[in-house]
Amino acid sequence: MTRRQRRTAAVVVLVAGVAAATALAVTAFRKNMMYFYTPSDLAARDVPVSAVMDLGGLVEPGTLKHGTGLAIRFMMTDCHHQMPVAYDGVLPDLFREGQGVVATGHLNADGTFVASRILAKHDSSYMPPNVARQVKAAELQGRKDCAAFKTLGDKAMTAARDAP
Amino acid sequence: MWLWFHRLASPPSFYRFAGILAPWLLAIGLTAIAAGFYGGLVLAPADYQQGDAFRIIYVHVPAAWLSLLGYSAMAVAAFVALVWRIKLAEAVVVASAPAGASFTALALATGMLWGKPMWGAYWVWDARLTSELVLLFLYLGVVALNSAFSDPRAGARACALLALVGAVNVPIVHYSVVWWNSLHQGATVFKPGGPSISPGMLWPLLTAAFGFTMFYAAVVLRRMQNELLIRERNSLWVRELVPVVAA
C-alpha cells in the first residue's frame, strides 16, 4: 500500500468507527432522547402519580373548555389514546384546537395530567388566510395528523397502542 | 480536465481564480437575497396561523440550511486535506469554520426569537435544537483548534480531523425531527408529498436560500484568499503580489 492508500484507509476506518459508535449510542438511548411522551406511552405503563414529565399530542378538536380565569381543560390525543389535561396559565400564540402541544406536568390521582407549562408545536404547513379558508373550515378543524407524535417502539407498548 | 484541476489547486492560480469569482458570487448572492427578502417580507401573504411572524423563515431556514451545507463542504475538504495533503483543501477547512459558525448562530438566534411567541419558550432541549447547538460547538472547536497551533499545516490537519469526526452530527441534525419526538417541526419543503407551503411563500424562500449560499461561497473564497496569503507569505508569488510584506 502506498502512503496515500494507508491514510485513506485510516481516515475511512476512523469515520466509520465514530459513525458506528454514534449510531449504537443513539439507538441505545433513543427513549432518553425523546423530548416528550405521548398518551399511548402513558397508557402502556404504570406511571407514578406526581412524576414530572413532558407529554405531547394534539388538542382534540371540540374538547377545549375554559374555566374561570385562564384555566382550561382539554383532551390530548395521539390518534390512539387520549389523556385529559388541565392547565391554568398563559398559552402560546399557536395554541388552538387541532394543534400539537407539549405539556410539562404530572398525573394526578384521578388520571388527569396537570400541566404547569404548555408549549405549542408548529405543524410545518404555511399558507395565506384566504387559502386556509378555501380548504374547508371543517377539514382544517377536524384534521388530525399524529405523525409528529411517536410512541416508543417497545413491543409491549406497540401491543398496548394497537389494542382497541 | 485533470490538468486544469491540478493547476487550479496551486495556491497562486486559485488566488487569481477566487479573486475573479468572488465578486460575481457576492453580487449574485446579494441580488438574490434582496429579491428573496422583498418577496418574503413584502409580497408574500401573511400566514393563516402565525400572521407576520412566519416571515422569520426567510432568514432562519437559509441560515440553518447553510449551517449544514457549510459543514458538509468542510468535511469533504477535510477528507481531501487528510488524504491528499492538498494545501487548498486545508484552506477550505480553516476558512469555512468561522463563516459556518456565524450562520449556525444566526439560525439559533432567529429560531429562539420565533420560538418565544409561537412555542412559548426561547429554548428547549429537544433533539433538533440540541444537535444544532452541538454543530455550533463543532464549528467553534475547529476555529479554536486552528488558533491553538503555531504551525498552520499541523493546525489544519488537526482541524480536518475534528471536522471529519464531527460530520456524524450532520445527519443527526437533519433527521432529528424524524427519529425523535421534538418540539421543532418537521420538514416543510423537502418532504414526501411535496412542500406544505403555498407557492407565493415558497419562491422567496428558495431565492433567499440560493442567495445565502452564493454569499457564503463568496465569503469562504475571500477568507481562503487571505488564508493562502498568510500561509504562503514567504513564497515568490505572494512577494510579487504584495511587495509591502517583503519589505
Looking at the predicted structure, is the pLDDT value of residue B55 above 70?
Answer: yes
Q: What percent of chain B is modeled with pLDDT above 70? A: 98
Q: Which pLDDT score, from 0 to 100, does residue B28 have?
A: 98
pLDDT band at A143 (very low <50, low <70, confident <90, very high): low
Are B183 and A94 within 8 A, CB to CB? no
Q: Is the pLDDT of residue A155 over 50?
A: no
Domain enclosing residue A6, as ranges: 1-33
How many CB contacts within 8 angstroms connect chain A with chain B? Answer: 123
Same domain flag for A20 and A85: no
**How many C-beta neighbours within 10 Å does residue B151 have?**
9
This complex has an ipTM of: 0.83
**Which range has highest mean pLDDT (A139-153, B86-100, B188-202)?**
B86-100
Torsion of CA B64, B100, B111, B211, to 10 degrees: -50
Same-domain check for residues A14 and A80: no
| Residue range B150-169, pLDDT digits in tens | 999 999 999 999 999 999 99
- Note whether A17 and A89 are same-domain residues: no
Residue among A7, A18, A33 with most chain B CBs within 10 A, to mutate: A33
Q: How far is CA B135 from CA B23, B130, B174, in A?
A: 29, 9, 11
Per-residue pLDDT averaged across B19-40, rounded? 97
Question: What's the pLDDT score for residue A153?
Answer: 56
* CA distance to partner chain B, nearest, from residue A94 (Å): 6
Average pLDDT over all residues of chain B: 93
Q: What is the pLDDT at residue A161?
A: 45
Identify any residues that bridge with B47 across adjacent strands, giving them in sequence order.
B51
Q: What are phi and psi of B154, to 5 degrees?
A: -65, -40
Among candidates B84, B118, B179 on the partner chain, residue whose Cβ is nearest the Cβ of A92: B118
pLDDT for res B4 = 80
Would the pLDDT of A157 be above 90? Answer: no
pLDDT score recorded for residue A136: 57
**What is the spatial distance between Cα B86 and Cα B79, in angstroms, rounded to a whole number?**
10
The pLDDT score that the predictor gives to residue A156 is: 43
Residues A17 and A67 in one domain: no
CA dist., res. B83 & res. B80, Å (int): 5
Nearest to B176 by CA among B167, B184, B166: B184
Interchain pair B183, A91: CB under 8 A: no
- Biggest CA-to-CA distance, chain A: 78
Report residue A106's pLDDT band, with 50, 70 and 90 as the boundaries. Answer: very high
Q: Across all residues in chain A, what is the average pLDDT?
A: 84
The 3-class secondary structure across A99-151, one letter per residue, is CEEEEEEEECCCCCEEEEEEEEECCCCECCHHHHHHCCHHHHHHCCCCCCCCC
Q: Which of A93, A128, A150 is nearest residue B46 as measured by Cβ atoms? A: A128
pLDDT at A163: 47
A90 and A46 belong to one structural domain: yes
pLDDT confidence bin for B240, thresholds 50/70/90: confident
Same domain (yes/no): A50, A115:
yes
Question: Does residue A52 share a domain with residue A13?
Answer: no
With 0-12 / 13-18 / 19 or more C-beta atoms within 10 angstroms meaning exposed / middle / buried, residue B218 is: buried
pLDDT band at A29 (very low <50, low <70, confident <90, very high): confident
pLDDT value, residue A140: 56
Q: Looking at the structure, do residues A114 and A55 belong to the same domain, yes or no?
A: yes
CB contact under 8 A, B83 and A4: yes
For chain B, the residue count is 247
Q: Tell me how close the Cα of A81 comes to any Cα of chain B, in angstroms.
A: 17
Specify the pLDDT at position A160.
46
Least confident range of A112-121, A129-138, B96-105: A129-138
Residue A6 sits in the same domain as residue A85: no
| pLDDT for residue A162 is more than 70 | no
Separation in Å, CA of B69 to nearest CA in chain A: 19
Q: What is the pLDDT of residue A138?
A: 52
Q: Does residue A4 sit in the same domain as residue A15?
A: yes
Nearest to B84 among A4, A36, A124 (CB): A4
B54 touches chain A (CB under 8 A): yes
Domain shared by A49 and A121, yes or no: yes
Q: What pLDDT, on the 0 to 100 scale, is given for residue A93? A: 87
pLDDT surpasses 70 at B109: yes
* Number of domains comprising chain A: 2
**Domain assignments of chain B as residue spans, ordered by start:** 22-246
Do A2 and A65 have their domain in common?
no
CB B123 within 8 A of CB B77: no
Confidence of residue B82 (pLDDT cuts 50, 70, 90): very high
Cα(B189)–Cα(B193) distance, integer angstroms: 10
Residues with Cβ within 8 Å of A3's Cβ and at least 6 positions away in sequence, in order, are none
pLDDT at B228 (0 to 100): 93
**Quick one: cell of B150?**
503555531
Q: CB of B137 within 8 Å of any CB in chain A?
A: no
With 60 as the cut, is the pLDDT of residue B111 above it?
yes
Mean pLDDT of A75-100: 91
Asked if A19 is an interface residue toward chain B (Cβ–Cβ < 8 A), one would say: yes
